[in-house]
Structure 1
């Protein structure tokens, strides 16, 4: 396993070995990457994630080998040579090819021919020694075989199956598919005018190289096929493929060769090409999935690590026209204090009453910031709020509503607010997102947040696994206040999980806030392992020991005490005192298990304890003159916020219903390899309007430097 993983990752063998040991000890990736740097050789969470991925791949391969060896042994066909080939296989495809001739088959044409006693005839033909094939075949005309042609046809079916099972033939066609395959599409004529088909009309008659097709285009084509609007075909040069097979098999120029040539064409058309072109398409789909999942994961990470406003008193508004604007007031910890509905927009148009109500609520609840959802009536509501003359300086933010409706109808929301309807819960979610995007967004299924491309078309298990890893890494890189965190947030803390999160939540409700990290051990079923994995990621504000509100692991508290003692100060005095900490000679604190990487992390944390890695939230204002797509003109420069990133560019919210697209070619004057190198999610940018297609509601933008 270690050799296999080392070959795949190119990481040092000792680092791989130690990381596998830690993973086998049920250590989490965040814990290993942060607190076991000496053992891993300072590997980061991405490298540790790769080791875990290839460990699982290797284990799956070994499991399949064992199943195949058992099946071969039961059939009595396992030779020492075949066993050696199976055991040395490093690839699942090659392994399945080895097993293919022995796999139990459904009733095939070849199997039917064998039952008619035609396998000896097939062997004679394959030997290519017989000159008068028909007279040889005549001997097999008996029973259900009632003609020479019937005998020859049956023999050819057997030969076709042998050709299909040859590894060298299969690999040669795989090579040609990999290098030269074309993917083409044709519209299903009866569906061409279907309204839902129009978004796929670019692919009604399309052809391009399968090896070069961008991931987003392949996923769009496959979705169109799944929905029944187009047919997809994978093709290579058939003549070249057949020549390659014939050159491998035919070595004579007699009647046997003629029969084998017919069998080759049959094997290619009926068995090899359908199977291997599907395999090639699946490989391309897997690559497209990987690419789309990577984009989604990067977007999700940026979204989760979005700028928090922090513990401020918030008035949040879920805007609407006919149904009114749902208003809630939250305290600094995100607790709901008041809710009401106002009707400033048509049809009621009570803007004066709405402004008075908002003003009085801002005074009554000492509001510090206002969060407005970015959905229907968002711009109109923002304009209304900006007309109000508040007594105090109140910041106004427009907040993404993506997934808020999913949260408001969820079990989590019902548990948090059993006495309120979905509209109130949705408004609370908008307000809390401004306070702390991470703490609120972990309550929503990541796929519902709406960042990425074709997330419903990719492998759902792989996607979920990737997104869970992103959420776990984000939560643990920021740290969690154990006394205010929701069950959802606690469940992503290293070593905790949903059950222990519920136990922590219930213990806190029953016994009050935790006053120290040691007190966490009192939670039912939270044992030594869970404490080791999670304690350093759980923060306790205003604890007696100041280290309890830092990323310093409890196992290192004695080291900090020794450092403070050597400096002639208390632990409290050295925290935040960078100039004092710089006087330490870290070599003095190295032990067998603690080296410089951990010591450097400790000092860095002591210099700025509990520092939030996220930037502070900033107020943003759209161009107030742009209210609909009809107000756009080519050449305009507008402020915007990046609201989605894909492989082909990024989408930008410019304050109207439709988002504009900055195609990858318009992000820079030079070649763009990675969109994320130029923009990040929720980044505030200036864009230039290049083209406006009002009928198709498409806006082309350029990043303005």
Structure 2
């Protein structure tokens, strides 16, 4: 067990650029129930300073490698129980670094249904297969004469049985299968074709009606687009192997034959027979297995990248700048049903709601303007948050006209993404928070609150509904949910929450807590009153010392009996903090924020047996900037006047916009026309950009130039380059990513590869020449369906 743990620690250390001892220490803390945010923030001495990103990767890989070890033990025991575990095989099992390699080794020993090869062995044809392998100079048909009997009436039956045995031998040769898999990954290509008669229904997939590219080069967004087209029965997908090799014996067939020392030509009659068997083994057994393997690997790789992109976008959105505690009016735009209006105070409490009808069919512009002006004046609103759905720009113009006529202080209007607002409005949580409000008005409240504090409001919504993903409904939903939950947890704990005002959904994301304890804290707060200090958390039902240790540092109390409770200093380190304060000869309240005095201290003088330099430096930083918020300063984009719809855009226009989503192929930008435009990765900067996240993130305010507008396909190509180059890609990427904000379907000029038309066109059938095309396509579809795609 210790050897296994050491091996796992060594593997993970290499993957996260750490030392095995650091990994071992972090694993120990995780196994004890510590959370990633707690370890990253308060156990730096133990782990050597591993950050939350490293720890998340460590946690994920730890689960995989432990599953691998458990499977290794199970496989080894199974083979040993059959009396077939040799020293060589045991060494190979120990060396297998992936589940696929392990299963390749286990295949010959895995209990399975009665096969053709097994039937042939029962008929006594195993020695015939061995004889053909042993003596290539003899004619196999002559060797077969000795094995004829009732069950084997003729030479053909005998040779077919020997072939079946040899085919199974090839298919269960782990080394051969591994080499073939490597060959396919390096040389195969994926081919997408339109299903006959689906041109109109599948228009959004037209970039893939006749498309191919090397398997190894397929980016996640194109893979997911093609897979969706296949699942919607618009496209057929196939894997072609050695498509550019015109020799009569394909490389894969040569590799199989070579595993029994048979060359591509020449030799005796036995060699010719074995070459035919190798060809047969590829076509009926190995091509199907390995092609499905490749399709599955492509899907998993694409899903992993899509989940990573979604998680990174979600993190940026959650950590977007808060407007702060200001009276805010939320406007949820609508045409026929009216614009829903909600006024909230600086804490998010609902002060008043209304519905105005400035648009068709009522066209009550005067009444709507009067009501909005009345609410602004009555509640001294500082901000107006406008949802970015249908009629957003028209509602923004209405608000601007009203503000222009005001004589007193003028509120600032901000367009806010309303993705997920309708989901929240209809949720049980919204009903509990606002039982007296109509569902439609709850959306306006959410829009106002998410401007005040995006993090506090967005945690109430299922992450998948927030709308910053790429083909998010096409990926493994379990893995997606796990990844997004981790992002939300890290974001909430990075910021910290006010213990006396935070909602139960926000508290539930704090390290060590969950929905049950969060509800218990809110119930205690409502019954007993506000918490005077962090220690009072121990009075909450079912919240014990261990949970207190995990959560206390992330919960803030402003104006309580202990000034340090307003900081991120953990209660376990209060003694150290007070020692630092005492050394300054100052009162804690006067010292907090005194950067000059604190910077004059030598951190090393406060190190003791329990706390090292990382903790001392964190405490000094917190005293220097108490309760600091890691989120950026609040700012917004200013949309161009008169540009409200797609048809208002003209090539060459310079606009300001907000980045709403970042994908592998570029960034989507809201420029105020209800249709996000795409800045392709090649147009993000005047230099080569490999990853769009190097340049932008969700929520950034950017300057863009309109390159092209396709009104019919609702696509906008934008550029952020300053050199005047357009750098627009050639093709599309299969429609907007799922998860785009409702009412603002996003365009997608995702790049399509430059297929070399000099190469041979895709074949009609399956891998390696197309002999099993229909069966292969059906098997691929069935295998992928079983994965839940």
Q: TM-score range, shorter-chain basis?
A: over 0.9
Partner of 1:44: 51
Q: Is the 8 A contact 2:685 2:721 kept in 1?
A: no
Q: Quick check: 1:242 aligned with 2:238?
A: no
Q: Is the 8 A contact 1:373 1:401 kept in 2?
A: yes
Structure 1 residues 349-397: Cα deviation after superposition (integer angstroms, max 9, x where no partner): 1111111111222222232211111111111111111112333231211
Partner of 1:686: 703
1:152 and 1:132 map into 2 onto residues whose CA distance is 11
Distance change in 2, residues 1:643/1:8 (3 Å): closer
Q: Shift of residue 129 of structure 1?
A: 5.2
Q: Shift of residue 130 of structure 1?
A: 6.7
Q: Quick check: 1:108 aligned with 2:120?
A: no
Select the residue among 223, 231, 248 that pairs with 1:226. Answer: 231
1:677 and 1:132 map into 2 onto residues whose CA distance is 65
Q: Is the 8 A contact 1:184 1:233 kept in 2?
A: yes
1:193 and 1:653 map into 2 onto residues whose CA distance is 29
Secondary structure of the residue that 1:83 maps to in structure 2?
Answer: helix
1:247 and 1:585 map into 2 onto residues whose CA distance is 69
Q: TM-score, normalised by structure 2?
A: 0.86
Once the two structures are superposed, the pairs formed by residues 250-261 of structure 1 within 5 Å of their partners are 250-251=261-262, 253-261=267-275
| Greater Cα shift, 679-688 or 198-207 | 679-688
Q: Shift of residue 314 of structure 1?
A: 1.3
Q: Shift of residue 704 of structure 1?
A: 5.3
Gaps of 5+ in 1: none
Partner of 1:322: 336
Q: Shift of residue 470 of structure 1?
A: 1.1
| Greater Cα shift, 154-163 or 166-175 | 166-175
Partner of 2:130: 123
Select the residue among 594, 597, 611 that pairs with 2:628. Answer: 611
Q: Quick check: 1:384 aligned with 2:435?
A: no
Partner of 2:777: none
Q: Is the 8 A contact 1:181 1:236 kept in 2?
A: yes
Q: Is the 8 A contact 2:230 2:236 kept in 1?
A: yes
Partner of 2:203: 198
Q: Quick check: 1:85 aligned with 2:92?
A: yes
Distance change in 2, residues 1:8/1:651 (3 Å): closer
Q: Shift of residue 575 of structure 1?
A: 1.1
1:420 and 1:433 map into 2 onto residues whose CA distance is 18
Q: Is the 8 A contact 1:8 1:54 kept in 2?
A: no
Q: Quick check: 1:348 aligned with 2:365?
A: no
Partner of 1:177: 184
Partner of 1:335: 349
Select the residue among 458, 461, 483 that pairs with 1:441. Answer: 458
Select the residue among 681, 688, 691 that pairs with 1:664. Answer: 681
1:248 and 1:17 map into 2 onto residues whose CA distance is 42
Q: Quick check: 1:535 aligned with 2:523?
A: no
Q: Is the 8 A contact 1:642 1:652 kept in 2?
A: yes
| Greater Cα shift, 381-390 or 526-535 | 381-390
Q: Shift of residue 220 of structure 1?
A: 0.7
Select the residue among 43, 54, 67 that pairs with 2:61. Answer: 54
Distance change in 2, residues 1:142/1:377 (3 Å): same
Q: Is the 8 A contact 2:136 2:271 kept in 1?
A: no
Partner of 2:436: 419
Secondary structure of the residue that 2:152 maps to in structure 1?
Answer: coil
Once the two structures are superposed, the pairs formed by residues 140-539 of structure 1 within 5 Å of their partners are 140-194=147-201, 197-237=202-242, 239-251=250-262, 253-388=267-402, 389-390=405-406, 391-539=408-556
Q: Is the 8 A contact 2:136 2:267 kept in 1?
A: no
Secondary structure of the residue that 1:641 maps to in structure 2?
Answer: strand
Structure 1 residues 166-214: Cα deviation after superposition (integer angstroms, max 9, x where no partner): 12211221121121111111211132332xx111111111111111122
Q: Is the 8 A contact 1:250 1:260 kept in 2?
A: no
Q: Is the 8 A contact 2:512 2:547 kept in 1?
A: yes
Q: Is the 8 A contact 2:101 2:178 kept in 1?
A: no
| Greater Cα shift, 480-489 or 316-325 | 480-489
Structure 1 residues 478-514: Cα deviation after superposition (integer angstroms, max 9, x where no partner): 0011111122111111111222112112222222221
Q: Is the 8 A contact 1:550 1:605 kept in 2?
A: yes
Once the two structures are superposed, the pairs formed by residues 18-37 of structure 1 within 5 Å of their partners are 18-37=25-44
Distance change in 2, residues 1:208/1:54 (3 Å): same
Gaps of 5+ in 2: 1-7, 243-248, 723-789
Secondary structure of the residue that 1:639 maps to in structure 2?
Answer: strand
1:687 and 1:587 map into 2 onto residues whose CA distance is 49
Secondary structure of the residue that 1:581 maps to in structure 2?
Answer: helix
Q: Shift of residue 242 of structure 1?
A: 1.0
Q: Shift of residue 453 of structure 1?
A: 1.2
Partner of 2:646: 629
Secondary structure of the residue that 1:190 maps to in structure 2?
Answer: coil
2:98 and 2:611 map into 1 onto residues whose CA distance is 39
Q: TM-score, normalised by structure 1?
A: 0.97
Structure 1 residues 14-68: Cα deviation after superposition (integer angstroms, max 9, x where no partner): 2112111111221111111111111111121111222222221221111101221
1:675 and 1:218 map into 2 onto residues whose CA distance is 18
Partner of 2:746: none
Structure 1 residues 426-452: Cα deviation after superposition (integer angstroms, max 9, x where no partner): 111101101100011111111111113
Q: Is the 8 A contact 1:686 1:704 kept in 2?
A: no
Q: Shift of residue 411 of structure 1?
A: 2.2
Select the residue among 557, 561, 564 that pairs with 2:574. Answer: 557
Secondary structure of the residue that 1:191 maps to in structure 2?
Answer: coil
Q: Is the 8 A contact 2:192 2:235 kept in 1?
A: yes
2:349 and 2:240 map into 1 onto residues whose CA distance is 60
Q: Is the 8 A contact 1:395 1:619 kept in 2?
A: no
Q: Is the 8 A contact 1:319 1:381 kept in 2?
A: yes
Q: Shift of residue 90 of structure 1?
A: 2.6
Secondary structure of the residue that 1:211 maps to in structure 2?
Answer: helix
1:193 and 1:350 map into 2 onto residues whose CA distance is 41
Higher RCO, Cα 8 Å, sep 6+: 2
Q: Shift of residue 699 of structure 1?
A: 1.1
Secondary structure of the residue that 1:299 maps to in structure 2?
Answer: helix
Distance change in 2, residues 1:443/1:143 (3 Å): farther
Structure 1 residues 461-490: Cα deviation after superposition (integer angstroms, max 9, x where no partner): 222222111111110110011111122111
Q: Is the 8 A contact 2:132 2:143 kept in 1?
A: no
Q: Shift of residue 458 of structure 1?
A: 2.0
Q: How many residues align?
A: 703
Secondary structure of the residue that 2:250 maps to in structure 1?
Answer: helix
1:55 and 1:150 map into 2 onto residues whose CA distance is 51
1:637 and 1:395 map into 2 onto residues whose CA distance is 23
| Greater Cα shift, 76-85 or 89-98 | 76-85
